Chains A and B, each alone.
Chain A
Amino acid sequence: MFKNSTGYYFILPSVIILGFTSVYPALYSFILSFYNWNWGTQQDFVGLSNYFFLLGDKEFWIVIKNTFFFALCACSIEVTLGILIAIYIDRIKVGAGIIRSLLLIPLMISGIVVSLMSKMMLNKLFGVIPYLMKQIGFSSNFYGTKDTAMWTLIGVDTWWQTAFVFIIILAGLQSIPKEPIEAARIDGVSEWGIIKHIRLPMIRSLIFLVIIFRSIDTLKIFDLVWGATGGGPGLSTEVVQTFAYRTAYGFLQMSKAMTIIVIFSVVVGILTVFYNRMDRKLR
């Protein structure tokens, strides 16, 4: 009995620390979502009314739609592009290091810097890109209209985060044993066939991992949106995190902000379980 429980004593400090830093804030937020707390003296128990209010709020659903649209588009483009670039870089013999280093530069920049940089470069009044486009006869309006702002954000996020996908997939591709590939070549399988039937299936778990990471990251997007558009024009780029932030700090409705995050965390949790099951099923 004593022998079996020794291991638990060793992990007890970690459990306590993680419990305090992760479980306690999550639980506290969850409890607060049942109150009407204005970040001051008012703290009334309101049961599920924050949940009912949000689920019936049109604005909330627009924000949810925006968030998933952004996540779906950004994640799909980044994963596809990242895999394609990784396959390409894995195959070239000269200059791969230089290209790899260049590709990684955006990843080293913080989100808020990326957002401000893009805001300046794409600004219709002073931005270098609209200026150059005007010189060749194109008019542009990146963050300025409801039709273009979300796609601009997706584009900027793609520029920023594709390297993350690329670097992980490249590491995976480079760890694949050479023998099956050489055997396939001897059997006359085309390069596309090798990619489709050998390379990609062998790194499938890694691809799933990248999809999970990028999905969660894009669903949690905040800095890029906050810095570049602030959720506008109108509500066109408002996402869950900026909506929660505005609810908390702009309107001082702390409990409602917690409720938004609780609902959203449940959605992200379900998505993660779904991805894991998919991965297991495909194995």
Chain B
Amino acid sequence: MNKLISLIISSLFVVTLPMANLFAMDWKKHSGEEITILMSEHPVLDGIREVLPAFEKDTGIKVNINALAEDVYFDRMEVALRSNKGLADVYFCPMDSTAFNQYLAGLIEPLDGYINDSNKTASDYDVKDFPDGFLQSARFPGGPGSNQYCLPVSFESYVLFYNKDHVNKYLGGKVPQTMDELIAAANTVKEASGGDVMGAVIRGKRTDTAIDTITGVVMNSWGDSSVDYPQNIWFDGGWDNPQIDNPAIIRGLSQYAALMSAGPEDIQAYDWNEAGTAMQQNLAAFFLDASLFGPWFESDGSPSQGNIGYTVIPPQSAGGQSYTAHWQWGIGMPANAANKDAAWYFMQYITNKQNEPIIGAKHGGAARMSTWDNPVYADTLNPEYVSATLESMKTTRSSVVMKEGWAKYALEIDDVIQRIYEGTSPEESAEIANKQFLKFNAQ
């Protein structure tokens, strides 16, 4: 009997193995086709350029890159997605309310059909290797029955950078252990240096795009309280209940404004590039922003190379837990793409386990968990940076708010900080924002 069972199993194995191969994905299936990818000039694109010759060789698909500077990218992306004729087959997808708005307008292609089709997706393409929290940012409409719309390609959490020389010179080498200490230390540096060194730099320019950094700081104040999506921390249980006046939110926004005050006089003109440049030029003691700045600070020829320390956002109390937020760039497929199957081949190729470490080494924000253990990736990065980023990943939560027209609300949150910075009381400023939120809802 046992022999019979073994024989049947062996026979099934012999019969099904070639069948499995028969239905396995053929990387050359779309050979000769051509696709266009719409990208922002970002380190991810540098990595893509590196693996592109191998992709074209392995698949026979020709890839045209349409790359734009980030400030114009967002507008062009919307135009490309909304045009009648597809201008791109793959696009760089901001995995936040931008993608959600695009989903609502029916502009992006759902990906589950591709991911689950063994004819289109390689058997070793492990989607579960992406942390679930990363995938959820572009899984719409949210909840059961949702579909994946973009795949993460780079992740950034919000961490603290410090200039070792300045910390040694003005603070006796003591890195702040709490948020209050950080604000005090930044002010000390500013005063002790006579203004020559900026105590802290942070995005101070009024813009809705600062919301993710702001969320990182506020999440640190929010602590381990639950975060409910799609509203995130900004609403209490429903869109009709804005809670900018929540004490934890007020504290976080006030701390953000306090860091601005410890910065240069023209901090309100500083976006990420000005703030990052100041840090990279060793002109600032502290910088709180996306972890992705790390590889830039450590790049060859950078004045800050080897002089930057990396740590999580200091907790609210000594020995407490740090919390932060994260944001991701992803890769998606426009609904109007002309060559969708070839586009999917490209998408899975650059996000698979083999290529992500190569691309990730260019930006330091790999989205796959396995990549962080891969020496191709991890060995190229500063160990302190890796350690701080991994530490932040333990408590990070997504900054995404899935609400149509979220940018307007995000700008209002930034306005709260601007008002506090300019002298309005945090409570009054938060109250104004609450009213504005309700006004936006009514529109």
* Chains A and B form a bound pair: yes
Q: Is the CB of A232 within 8 A of B283?
A: no
Complex interface residues of chain A between 242 and 267 (CB less than 8 A to chain B)? 249-253
Contact with B along A43-86 (1 / 0, CB 8 A): 00000000001000000000000000000000000000000000
Q: Is the CB of A125 within 8 A of B78?
A: no
B405 in complex: contacting residue of A41, A126, A252, CB < 8 Å: A252
Q: Is the CB of A145 within 8 A of B405?
A: no
For the complex formed, measure the closest distance between the CB of A34 and the CB atoms of chain B, giving whole angstroms: 15
Q: Is the CB of A249 within 8 A of B107?
A: no
Interface size on B, residues (CB 8 A): 33
**Known interface pairs A53-B443, A144-B268. Does A41 touch B105 (Cβ–Cβ under 8 Å)?**
yes
Q: Is the CB of A232 within 8 A of B82?
A: no
Is the C-beta of B404 less than 8 angstroms from some C-beta in chain A? yes
Q: Is the CB of B404 within 8 A of A38?
A: yes
A10 to B338 alpha-carbon distance, docked (Å): 44
Is the C-beta of B407 less than 8 angstroms from some C-beta in chain A? yes
* Most chain B Cβ neighbours within 10 Å, of A38, A40, A126, A229: A40
Contact with B along A227-240 (1 / 0, CB 8 A): 00111111100000
B206 in complex: contacting residue of A38, A39, A144, A234, CB < 8 Å: A234
Contacts of B281 in A (CB 8 A): 125
**Known interface pairs A53-B443, A144-B268. Does A232 touch B74 (Cβ–Cβ under 8 Å)?**
no
Contact with A along B390-418 (1 / 0, CB 8 A): 00000000000000110110000000001
Q: Is the CB of B265 within 8 A of A144?
A: yes
For the complex formed, measure the closest distance between the CB of B70 and the CB atoms of chain A, giving whole angstroms: 13
Q: Is the CB of B283 within 8 A of A233?
A: no
For the complex formed, measure the closest distance between the CB of B269 and the CB atoms of chain A, giving whole angstroms: 4
A235 to B418 alpha-carbon distance, docked (Å): 10
**Known interface pairs A145-B268, A234-B268. Does A39 touch B82 (Cβ–Cβ under 8 Å)?**
yes
**Known interface pairs A230-B205, A251-B405. Does A39 touch B78 (Cβ–Cβ under 8 Å)?**
yes
A125 in complex: contacting residue of B278, B405, B408, B443, CB < 8 Å: B278
Is the C-beta of B264 less than 8 angstroms from some C-beta in chain A? yes
Contacts of A100 in B (CB 8 A): none
Q: Is the CB of B266 within 8 A of A145?
A: yes
Is the C-beta of A166 less than 8 angstroms from some C-beta in chain B? no
Q: Is the CB of B104 within 8 A of A40?
A: yes
Is the C-beta of A220 less than 8 angstroms from some C-beta in chain B? no
Is the C-beta of A204 less than 8 angstroms from some C-beta in chain B? no
- Nearest to A141 among chain B residues (CB) is B266
A181 to B418 alpha-carbon distance, docked (Å): 59
Q: Is the CB of A249 within 8 A of B75?
A: yes
Q: Is the CB of B266 within 8 A of A233?
A: yes
Is the C-beta of B274 less than 8 angstroms from some C-beta in chain A? yes
Complex interface residues of chain A between 96 and 151 (CB less than 8 A to chain B)? 124-126, 141, 143-146, 149
For the complex formed, measure the closest distance between the CB of B378 and the CB atoms of chain A, giving whole angstroms: 33
Is the C-beta of B32 less than 8 angstroms from some C-beta in chain A? no
Contacts of B205 in A (CB 8 A): 230, 232-233
- Nearest to B82 among chain A residues (CB) is A39
A232 to B107 alpha-carbon distance, docked (Å): 32
Contact with A along B252-272 (1 / 0, CB 8 A): 000000000000111111010
Contacts of B283 in A (CB 8 A): 125
* Most chain B Cβ neighbours within 10 Å, of A143, A144, A230: A144
Is the C-beta of B208 less than 8 angstroms from some C-beta in chain A? yes
* Most chain A Cβ neighbours within 10 Å, of B107, B268, B422: B268
A125 to B422 alpha-carbon distance, docked (Å): 22
A145 in complex: contacting residue of B265, B404, B408, CB < 8 Å: B265
Is the C-beta of B207 less than 8 angstroms from some C-beta in chain A? yes
Is the C-beta of B101 less than 8 angstroms from some C-beta in chain A? yes
Contacts of B106 in A (CB 8 A): 40-41
For the complex formed, measure the closest distance between the CB of B90 and the CB atoms of chain A, giving whole angstroms: 21
Q: Is the CB of B268 within 8 A of A146?
A: yes
Contact with A along B96-109 (1 / 0, CB 8 A): 00000100111100
A53 to B269 alpha-carbon distance, docked (Å): 29
A144 to B82 alpha-carbon distance, docked (Å): 36
For the complex formed, measure the closest distance between the CB of B284 and the CB atoms of chain A, giving whole angstroms: 10
For the complex formed, measure the closest distance between the CB of B244 and the CB atoms of chain A, giving whole angstroms: 18
Contacts of A253 in B (CB 8 A): 405, 408
For the complex formed, measure the closest distance between the CB of A38 and the CB atoms of chain B, giving whole angstroms: 7
Is the C-beta of B177 less than 8 angstroms from some C-beta in chain A? no
For the complex formed, measure the closest distance between the CB of A50 and the CB atoms of chain B, giving whole angstroms: 9
* Most chain B Cβ neighbours within 10 Å, of A124, A231, A234: A234
A88 to B269 alpha-carbon distance, docked (Å): 39
For the complex formed, measure the closest distance between the CB of A41 and the CB atoms of chain B, giving whole angstroms: 6
- Nearest to A145 among chain B residues (CB) is B266
Contacts of A39 in B (CB 8 A): 78, 82, 105
A39 to B283 alpha-carbon distance, docked (Å): 43
Contacts of B277 in A (CB 8 A): 125-126
B105 in complex: contacting residue of A40, A53, A143, A231, CB < 8 Å: A40
A53 to B405 alpha-carbon distance, docked (Å): 16
Contacts of A235 in B (CB 8 A): 206
Q: Is the CB of A144 within 8 A of B105?
A: no
Q: Is the CB of A249 within 8 A of B404?
A: no
Q: Is the CB of A124 within 8 A of B264?
A: yes
A143 to B269 alpha-carbon distance, docked (Å): 7
A280 to B405 alpha-carbon distance, docked (Å): 48
A42 to B269 alpha-carbon distance, docked (Å): 35
Complex interface residues of chain A between 186 and 240 (CB less than 8 A to chain B)? 229-235
Contact with B along A141-178 (1 / 0, CB 8 A): 10111100100000000000000000000000000000
A251 to B266 alpha-carbon distance, docked (Å): 26
A232 to B265 alpha-carbon distance, docked (Å): 14
In the complex, given contacts A38-B405, A233-B206, what are 4 additional A-B residue pairs having Cβ atoms less than 8 angstroms apart? Answer: A125-B277, A125-B278, A126-B277, A252-B407
| 18 A-B residue pairings within 8 Å (CB atoms) | A38-B405, A39-B82, A39-B105, A40-B104, A41-B106, A124-B265, A126-B277, A143-B269, A145-B268, A149-B269, A231-B206, A232-B268, A233-B206, A251-B405, A251-B407, A251-B408, A252-B101, A253-B408
The 7 closest A-B pairs by CB, nearest first: A144-B266, A40-B105, A233-B268, A144-B269, A249-B75, A251-B408, A251-B407
Q: Give the B-binding residues of A (Cβ under 8 A).
A: 38-42, 53, 124-126, 141, 143-146, 149, 229-235, 249-253
Q: Give the A-binding residues of B (Cβ under 8 A).
A: 74-75, 78, 82, 101, 104-107, 204-208, 264-269, 271, 274, 277-278, 281, 283, 404-405, 407-408, 418, 422, 443
